Amino acid sequence: MNDKQRISNSEWRDKLTPEQYHVTREHGTERAFSHDYNVEKRDGVYHCVCCDAPLFTSGTKYDSGSGWPSFFQPVSEDAIKEIDDRSHFMRRTEIRCANCDAHIGHVFPDGPAPSGLRYCTNGLALNFKPEE
């Protein structure tokens, strides 16, 4: 059983800050250029803030100029799940943590090689763990 099946909204509210809850559980978005992870340069791994599952490594992070932490691929094929998102009169692909269903951001087909993808994430949805 994974976290999304056993944690209630009330428990998520207790575990997360109001801003983290809004982004991850209510599919919100932080302001561009507002999170320190956008400019984080250290080596390490970015984990889901909700369930601590590893999602991205610093080796796949790049400066997309978008104002949000961006990566060209997840840590593994099964770390992220993609959902068709037709909200806000747009058609996008939402990315969620495959373990707990937290909203992480969106993926776009305008990233660098080798994937050509840009995983545009909310820093509030991530927890960075630097290498020691």
> Distances from the Cα of 29 to the Cαs of 19, 44, 78, 114, 123, in angstroms?
9, 24, 23, 27, 9
Hey, which residues does 6 pair with through a beta bridge? none
Hey, which residues does 44 pair with through a beta bridge? 130
Instruction: Answer yes or no: 120 catalytic.
Output: yes
Instruction: Give the Cα separation of 74 and 69 in Å (integer).
Output: 13
Instruction: Give the Cα separation of 46 and 70 in Å (integer).
Output: 11
Active-site residue among 48, 50, 97, 120? 120
Q: Please report the sign of the dihedral spanned by the C-alpha atoms of residue 108, residue 78, residue 62, residue 49.
A: positive
Count the neighbouring beta carbons within 10 Å of the beta carbon of residue 26. Answer: 10
Active-site residues: which are they?
120
